[in-house]
Amino acid sequence: MARSAVGVIFTNIQDKNIPELSSRRTMASIPFAGRYRLIDFALSNLVNAGITTVGIVTQKNYQSLIDHLGSGKDWDLARKDGGIILLPPYSNETDAPYKNRLEALMGITGFLQRRTEDYVVLYDGDGVSRLDIADVVRYHEETHADITLVYRKTDSVESHYYITLDPDDTGRINSLQINPKLDNKKDINLYINVMVVQREYLMGLIQNAVQSGFSSFGRDILAKHVGSMRIFGYRFDGYYAGITSLSRYFKYSMEMLDKDIRDELFGARDIYTKVRDSAPSKYIAGAVVKNSLISDGCIIEGTVENSILFRGVKVGKGSVIRNSVLMQETVIGSSVQMDCVITDKNVVIRDRRHLSGCEELPYFIAKGKML
Amino acid sequence: MQRKKECVAMLLAGGQGSRLYALTNNIAKPAVAFGAKYRIIDFPLSNCINSGIDTVGVLTQYEPLELNEYIGNGQPWDLDRTFGGVHILSPYQAKKKSSWYEGTANAIFQNMGFMKKYNPDYVLILSGDHIYKMNYAKMLQAHISTGADCTIAAIEVPLSEASRFGILNINPDGSIYQFEEKPKAPKSNLASMGIYIFTAEKLYKYLQEDDNDPNSSKDFGKDVLPAMLNAGEKMYSYLFEGYWKDVGTIPALWESNMDLLGADPLFDVADPSWKIHSRNPLAPPEYISETGEVDNSMIALGCEIYGQVTNSVLSSNVIVEEGAVVEDSVIMSGTVIKKGAKVLYSVIDENVIVGEGAVIGENKENAKGITVLGRNMHVSADAVVESGKIIDKDYKGE
């Protein structure tokens, strides 16, 4: 149990990667897998490691995030001591909210100071995984690291900002690169935006960065001082979906139809999310549903294949939905045909529309649109 | 100034529900699963909060553990309050005496202290074994405007079934002149729903008198209501129009589950204007596979369907394996129907394993009755459970 750690989730840091879904919400509140938001995976991993205090760093567009989190009770984080602590932008000198991770950290020094836990888990809410944070903290303690970076092996990277690591045999990182050219390189050690750091050490880093006028956590702290700090890499081999673009979002959504992946993520039934008291889904006589995930509150009269339906989706008679992701409260009329479509929340598709995209470029319909 | 509540609800949840047989072996009837994600008690509790009543005493006696755990601090129903909220009221030991609840009236009498703490003007008495959506605030309004001492909610039932109910005989203005408990020759088809609103002081008075009467069976229907009527108190009926079902028997429980199905169901649990609150399962969305077929059914989160499900209601985390058939059935959470097994016209409780190729029941047309499997049991591969059987232990076949 990582009782002696506090979590910090950055909800906006990776927004640039997927503007379609994050223009009106934070990255962390992007809906995923039928009834979750990305932040649910970060929160659940932290909570399942015994962490009871999680600071939520927000920058902009965080109304839907706040609505999702509520008091934190759905993650068992409505606590007298700690629990969910919202950390909205704070500034008294500049009038703009933070621009990067370092400025965000500068803005939460008060929170970090008030805590008493030994470690801080810094977590970007952009990945879907079942990561054993308690094991990462244990590794961090065993290696006496100053900073532990969680990474995974991959053959491809698609992101505006990424860090690759070169761990030695002991796991120690002696060099790391920011946005290196990869040119078909295989076996990349990609940092997955989760790190553990000693709380007081982190405060020292921040203070030093302020005094030195640093502007980037990655460039000015990690990359520049990698030789002088004890930075270790924790290799994660489990399922990981980094939501770095709309086409990746679509690809990873479809991977949720794979039983093995689903069992790994949800088999233990310990991924928590906001409860909405929706009624169970109804399959009306004549409905055909194949290879699909259906969340609660749906009413299906048509055909649904290879698709993910979020809560409260309605599919009318004679409609055929294939290879699509329909977010919360999407309403599909009758005799509609859809293939490779992503609808954001509250989209309405009128009768007899035919819409299709392709796997690489799914047809995206923005929140609240009516077609 | 003493803080007070206008109306406090007292929910009678102590019933054993013996006519639900194996389904209530270890749990109280109000804790029985219903409608893929609910339990029976979700309905009166949701009705309370939706009607603006935020103080509810739940009187438990028979196998209360699971019910107590389910209700918890009442948060799922928004009934975790600093003043008010939901409270479990179990029989307790007092300085002078201790006793189990002897009847419905006695159960309320023993919790007079709980009610008086809130200094209510009115007390609403409910039972925990009906499926319905009702705005108690409207009934309270009627109670206040008629100036009644007691108002009884009533529903019209077919005259042929009236002798199963407490029947109200009323004047044109709705006032009650006679109350008959299960009459052989009913004079009206107006059945009591077991939902009463009392003006608090009258309730206290008649409960005390009832307790003093050694010949009383301490029951509302048999003793308290007739006593009030005989004494000339003002008693009114409140006509309820809508879906209301006593799910105290296996056929009624089955039928009420089936009433949820279809695009235009007899009973709609998805009505956004009257949400039914419940504890929600921690499970991913249900998965219907390439081989799965789901027709005219209700499926809860966490289910995995590889076989065929028709005209059925499945609670969370039920697995129907490839080649298995589930028809006209109610399956409660965590149950696994193995490959090639058939479940026909049955009610299967939680965490049952139906072995490969086993056959439970017979199709609705030919069955002798609904087949019932109690919780946590295992039916061996290829075993056949005859239709109409009720089984609550592991079953290997004849």
For helices A38-48 and A133-142, give the axis angle rounded to 10 degrees: 60
Give the model's confidence band at B1: pLDDT under 50 very low, under 70 low, under 90 confident, else very high. Answer: low
pLDDT at B63: 85
Q: Is residue A3 over pLDDT 70?
A: no
Selecting from B284, B293, B301 the residue whose C-beta is nearest the C-beta of A262 gives B284
pLDDT at A61: 84
**Alpha-carbon dihedral of residues A194, A198, A202, A205, nearest 10 degrees?**
-110
**B207 torsion bin: left (phi>0), alpha (psi -120 to 50), beta (else):** alpha
pLDDT at A100: 83
In single-letter form, the type of residue at position A83 comes to: G
Pair A329, A312: CB distance under 8 Å? yes
Question: Which pLDDT tens digit goes with each residue over B211-257?
Answer: 999 999 999 999 999 999 999 999 999 999 999 999 999 999 999 99
Residue whose tokens read 């009038």: A95
pLDDT at A185: 86
What CA–CA distances, in Å, run from B25 to A224, B20, B317, B392, B395? 68, 9, 22, 9, 17
A355 vs A371: CA distance, rounded Å: 10
Contact list, A275 vs chain B (CB under 8 Å): 76, 280
Across B61-77, average pLDDT: 92
Interface of chain A toward chain B, CB-CB under 8 angstroms: 33-35, 73, 257, 259, 262, 265-266, 269-272, 275-297, 299, 301, 308-309
The pLDDT mean for chain A works out to 93
CA of B35 vs chain A CAs: smallest distance (Å): 8
Could you say which DSSP state residue A113 is in?
H
Closest CA to B56 of B107, B130, B113, B115: B115
The SS3 assignment for B257 reads: helix
Pair B241, B130: CB distance under 8 Å? no
Q: Is residue A119 over pLDDT 70?
A: yes
A267 vs B284: CA distance, rounded Å: 9
Across B348-357, average pLDDT: 98
Contact list, B267 vs chain A (CB under 8 Å): none
pLDDT at A14: 72
pLDDT at A158: 84
- Report how far Cα B387 is from the mean position of its chain's Cα atoms: 26
Best A273, A277, A306 residue to mutate vs chain B (most B CBs within 10 Å): A277
Helix (H) or strand (E) holding B123: strand B122-127
CA of B179 vs chain A CAs: smallest distance (Å): 38
Structure token pair of residue B305: 């369907």
Q: Is the Cβ pair B288, A291 closer than 8 Å?
A: yes
Closest CA to A177 of A244, A224, A233: A224
Contact list, B283 vs chain A (CB under 8 Å): 266, 269
Q: Is B266 on the interface with A (CB under 8 A)?
A: no
What CA–CA distances, in Å, run from A363 to A247, A302, A323, A358, B388? 10, 20, 11, 7, 53
Give the model's confidence band at B33: pLDDT under 50 very low, under 70 low, under 90 confident, else very high. Answer: very high
pLDDT at A8: 97
Radius of gyration over alpha carbons of chain A, in Å?
A: 21
Pair A368, A345: CB distance under 8 Å? yes
Helix locations, chain B, DSSP H: 42-50, 65-71, 104-109, 112-117, 136-146, 200-212, 225-230, 250-258
Q: Is the Cβ pair A299, B302 closer than 8 Å?
A: no
- Report how far Cα A38 is from the mean position of its chain's Cα atoms: 4
CA of A232 vs chain B CAs: smallest distance (Å): 34
Contact list, B275 vs chain A (CB under 8 Å): 277
Question: Which pLDDT tens digit goes with each residue over B175-202?
Answer: 999 988 889 999 999 999 999 999 999 9
Specify the pTM.
0.94
- Report how far Cα A329 is from the mean position of its chain's Cα atoms: 22
Q: Is B270 on the interface with A (CB under 8 A)?
A: yes
Contact list, B75 vs chain A (CB under 8 Å): 73
Q: Is B275 on the interface with A (CB under 8 A)?
A: yes
Residue whose tokens read 């879907």: A128
Residue whose tokens read 């700690």: A82
**A155 torsion bin: left (phi>0), alpha (psi -120 to 50), beta (else):** alpha
Q: Is residue A99 over pLDDT 80?
A: no
Tell me which chain B residue has its CA closest to the CA of residue A280: B300
Q: Is the Cβ pair B289, A290 closer than 8 Å?
A: yes
In single-letter form, the type of residue at position B57 comes to: G
Full strand arrangement of the beta sheet holding B313-314: A348-349, A331-332, A314-315, A299-300, A281-283, B297-299, B313-314, B330-331, B346-348, B371-373, B390-391
The SS3 assignment for A10 reads: strand
**ipTM of predicted assembly, 2 dp:** 0.92
pLDDT at A96: 64
CA of A269 vs chain B CAs: smallest distance (Å): 6
